[in-house]
Chains A and B, each alone.
Chain A
C-alpha cells in the first residue's frame, strides 16, 4: 500500500517529531543534571516514569496477546489483525523500556543484571523476561514479514508465554512489598495481566480505526467483525476489572489502612471514582454494550486508556506516599518527567507510522475477502 504524504499527514508527522524532540531534550536534561530534575524523593522513590513504563509495557503485552490469538491459538478470525497488533506491541515496548531506563540512576551498570543476578528479586526476573521477550517479538515480526510460518508458530507461542510472564512479574515487583496495602498480594499480578489485555485491546482498536481513517481506506468485512468482537471482549474485561476493584476496596475496608482512606475519600478519591471507575470502566462499558461503531470504539478506547493510566498512577504513587511514621508524603511530576513520557509516546507513534508506511500491516489475504464471498461463520460467538 502506497501512502502519499499529504499536508494533513505531514502536520501529524511534524507533531510527532516535536514530541520526540521534547523527549530527547528531557532525556538529555536528566543525563546531564541527574535525577534532581525528577519529583521523586526518598519518601516516594518511584515516580511517574515508572507509572508510564508500567502502563506502556502492559499495553504492549496486551497487544502481543491479541496477536497470538491468530498466530498461536488458532483463532483464525483474528489473523487479520495479528500483524498490526504484533508490530504495535513492538513499537510501544521499545520506547517504554527507554522510559524505564531513564529512571535508573546508573544505566551504565545494567550489565550487573547478567554478571550478578539476584534470583529472589522480581526486578531481575522482569529484566530477564523482557530482554528475551523483546528479542523474540522482533524475530516473530521478521518471520511474519518474510512469511515463515514455522517460525511464526514457534515464536508466537514463546511471546504468548512471554507476554503473560513479563506482565505478571512486573506486577510481582509491587505484589511482594508487604507493607504497602495498595501493592501487596498475588491479585496485583493477576490484575496486571488483566490490565494488559484491557489497555492492549483499547490501543489496538484506536490505532486500527484511526489508521484506516487517516489513510482513507475502507475496512474489510472481516476486520470490522474482529474489531466488533474486540469491542465486546473489552466490555467483558472491563466488567471483570470493575469486580476486581470492588473486591480490592472491600478487602482494604477490612484492613482500614491509611492507603485505603486516600483512595476511598482522600487525596486520590476524585481520580479514583471519577477517572478509574467512571471514565475508565463504567462509561466505556455503556458505550460498548451495543451498536459498536468505529467512533464509539475509539471513544471508549480513549476513556479506557485514561482510566488505566490513572489507575496505575494511584496504585504506584498512592502506594508509596503513606510513610511508616503515618505521615503522608507528597509527589508531583515535573516537566522533565512529562517530557520523557511525551517523547516515549511520540516515538511509539513514529515507529508505528513507519510500520504503516513501510511494512503493510494489513493481512495480505484480507484484500479480497469482501462481504460477498464470505460465508457466515458457524464459529461466531454470542
Chain B
C-alpha cells in the first residue's frame, strides 16, 4: 500500500512569521507574487475585543481533488502517495484547475519567471555586473536557484502553465520533511503518513481537536489545523 501524506499545522504553535512562505520560495524557486505557501489573515471584532487569526494556507492535497477532476489533459493527478501533483510538461494553461480549486492555491505563470536576470542595467554602473551579465557568465538562465526542485518537477516553471505546492515531493521521496515543515521556527508543522498506524500524525490528530478548510465541500482536504483559538 502506498503512503497517504497529510499535514498538520498547530495554530497554537504558529507565530505567524511567514517563514514557511519565505523558505518555500527558496526551495521551489517561485517567482515574486507567487506563493505556494500562503496565508489568510482574519481580523474581527471591535477594539478592545479584537480577534486576529493567521491561517497558513497551501495546497490541501485533497483526496477528492476538484482540480484533478477538472483538468482536461490529466496534468493534475493524484500520485501513489496521496499527493495532488502537477505535470508541467502536460499543462495546457486552460486554468480549469484554478477555477475549480476552492482554496485558491494554484497560480498561473503569465510570463517567464525571474525576469530580473534579463535586466541589463547594473546596480552601480561600471562597478557591479548587470543581472544579465551574471547570468551569462554563470551560464545559467537563473544563477541563484535551488536545482533540487528539478529532481521530479520543472525546476522553474515557465510562461503559460499553472503551478502549485507539490508538498516538496522531492524531499518526501528521500524521507525528509517538506522545507516549510523543517524550517518552521515554532515547529508548528508536520507531514505524516495516514496509512501508517505508527506515524506520529495519528497522535497529533488524536490529542488535539482539529479542523480543515471548507470541509463542507466534500473535497477531503489533507491539511489539518490543530488547536484553533
Q: CB within 8 Å of B: which residues of A?
A: 33-36, 38, 40, 42-43, 45-46, 103-107, 109-110, 112-113, 116-118, 120-124, 127, 173, 176-180, 320, 323-326
Contact = CB atoms under 8 A, between A and B. Distances in A.
B160 A117 contact: no
Chain B binding site: helix, strand, loop or mixed by DSSP? loop
B66 interface: yes
Q: Which of A117, A173, A324 has the most CB of B within 10 A?
A: A324
Interface stretch (B86-94, B138-146, B192-200): B86-94
B218 to A, nearest CB: 8
Interface string B8-25: 000000000000000000
B105 to A, nearest CB: 9
Contact of A324 (B71, B75, B104): B104
Given A45-B95, A112-B90, A173-B96, 13 more contacts: A40-B95, A42-B106, A45-B99, A104-B92, A112-B73, A112-B92, A116-B74, A118-B69, A123-B96, A177-B99, A178-B218, A179-B214, A180-B99
B73 A177 contact: no
B182 interface: no
A285 to B, nearest CB: 33
B226 interface: no
Contact of B42 (A38, A180, A325): A325
A177 B96 CA distance: 10
Given A104-B92, A105-B94, A324 B214 contact: yes
Closest 4 CB pairs of A and B: A105-B93, A105-B160, A124-B72, A112-B73
Interface of B: 34, 40, 42, 66, 68-75, 90-96, 98-100, 102-104, 106-112, 159-162, 213-214, 217-218
Nearest to B73: A112
Contacts of B74: 112, 116-118
Given A105-B109, A105-B160, A324-B213, A116 B91 contact: no
Q: Which of A40, A43, A105, A173 has the most CB of B within 10 A?
A: A105
B33 to A, nearest CB: 8
Contacts of A123: 70-72, 94, 96
Contacts of A36: 110-111
Contact of A120 (B69, B91, B106): B69
Contacts of B214: 179, 324
Contacts of A42: 34, 98, 104, 106-108
Contacts of A173: 96, 99
Contacts of A177: 66, 70, 99-100
A45 B95 CA distance: 6
B71 to A, nearest CB: 6
Q: Which of B90, B95, B108, B109 has the most CB of A within 10 A?
A: B95
Contact of B73 (A34, A124, A176): A124
Contacts of B71: 118, 121, 123
B104 A113 contact: no
